[in-house]
Amino acid sequence: MLQYENDFIWNKDVNITALMDDVYQKLVTEKESKIAGYYTLGEDSLPLVDHVLENSQTNRYIQQSDTIVVIGIGGSSLGTKAIYSVFKHRYKNAKRMLFLENPDEIDLYEKLASIEKEKTIFIVVSKSGSTIETISIFKEIISRFYLNYEQQDRERIIAITDFDSLLYKFAQYYKIKVYTIPDNVGGRFSVLSAVGVVPLTLAGYDMKSLLSGAATMANSFFEKKENHLLEKAVFLTSHQKEYPMNVVFSYANCLEDFTKWYVQLWGESLGKINKNAQHVGLTPIGHIGSVDQHSFLQLIIEGPRDKTVTFIKLENFEKNIKIPNISLKFIEKADYINGYTFNELIDGECEATKESIIQQGINVDEITLDRLNEKNIGKLIMYYELLTSLCGKIFNIDTYNQPGVELGKQILLKKFN
C-alpha cells in the first residue's frame, strides 16, 4: 500500500479543478491513441515473464549461470538496477546482477575482472540498437572473454532492442535470442518492458507481482481514483517559475538507485523547449535520508526558496534492530534514543526534517510505503511515470523525445570522424 499527503501552498490565481480535468483527459486520449505504450505494460508484460521462464528451462547456459550481466546505459539499465537494488537483500538465492553502464576504465576493469564467462549470461540492451557506450562495452566483452557469438556462445547472449534496429539485425543474423521493446515505449519508460522484465526474471525476481502493482496504479489512475497525482502535477507545473527544483529525499538506502532513475525520467522528459518556444522543465535532485539531510537540508532551510521537497518513506523495515541501552561517558546526551529501533529513529528523522521544512513555508509532499514489496515498487514506478506524463502535457511538450541528448551524440560522432 502507498499513502500520499501534501502541504502545498497554492497561488490563488491557479484554476486547479479545470487544469486537473484537462490534463486527465489528455492522458486518457494519449493512452487510447497508443502514443505512449507504457500505461499498459503492467498487464502486457505478464506473458513475457512466462516466456522467459520457459526459455530458461531449455537453455543450459542459463541453468549453469550464477551471474546476469546487463550491458546498457540510461533507460536501458537504470530502472532494472533500481529494482535489483531494492530487493537484492531479500533474494538470497537469486543470480548476481552486474551492470556495465559507463565507459569508465577503472570501473569497467574491476567489474570485468569479477566475471567468469562459463557462469554468466550477457544481456545487451539498447533501444536504438547502436548506443555507443553499450556497443563499445559489448565489443570489449566479446574480445576479453573470446565470446564466440557465431556458434556455441550465442546461447549465453541475449539482446533487447527495438524491432529491426541494428542490434536486432545483428542478433537475428547470428541466431542470438532477441526481445523487442514496444515502438511506443521510450527508453526511460521501458523498465516494465523486456528491458527490466527479462534480466530480473532470469535472475530470479518476482516480476509478476511488480507488474501487478504497476497495473493496479495505472488502472486506478484511469478510473480517476488517484487525484493526488493530478493535483501534484498541476501544482509543480503551475509554480515552475517560483519552484523550478524538486528535491526527492528517499529514506532508505535501497532506494538510492530508484532515486537516480527518477532523476533521469524527470530531467530527460521535462527539460524541453515547448510548443510556444519557451524553455520549461523541473530540475530533479535526488537524495538519501538521513545521510544527505546532514548536508543539503541547510540549503533547503536557509537557501533560496526555489525548491519543492518530496519525501519517500518506508513505514516498516522488518528488521527490528534496537539501539542498545548503553550510556557512553561524555556522550550521555544521545541516550534519549536508547531502546528504540533504528526503524523508529529514521522514521523520526524523516518526520522531524519534514516538519522543519514545512515550518519555513516550503512546499512538501510525502509518499509512504507500508512495506518493501514488489507490488509497492511497481506502484511507485507507475506513479512517477504517470506524474511525468502529466507534467509534460501541462508544459505542452513532447515528453518522450530527447533532442538535447541527440545533439550531444551528433557532436561526439563528429569528434571521432
* Residue positions annotated with a catalytic role: 268, 294, 409
CA distance 310 to 363: 9
Q: Which residues pair with 368 in a beta bridge?
A: 3, 313
Whole-angstrom distance, CA of residue 8 vs CA of residue 361? 9
List of E strands, 13-89: 67-71
The count of residues in the chain is 417
Specify the 3-state DSSP secondary structure of 184: coil
Task: Give the integer Cα–Cα distance in Å for 381 and 182.
Answer: 18
The sheet that has 120-126: what strands, in order across it? 96-100, 67-71, 120-126, 157-162, 177-181
User: Would you list the DSSP string of 44-106?
Assistant: HTHHHHHHHHHHHHH-HHHHH--EEEEE--GGGTHHHHHHHHHHTTT-TTSPEEEEE-S--HH
CA distance 49 to 206: 9
Q: Residues near 298 by Cβ (< 8 Å), separated by ≥ 6?
A: none
C-beta separation of 222 from 74 below 8 A: no
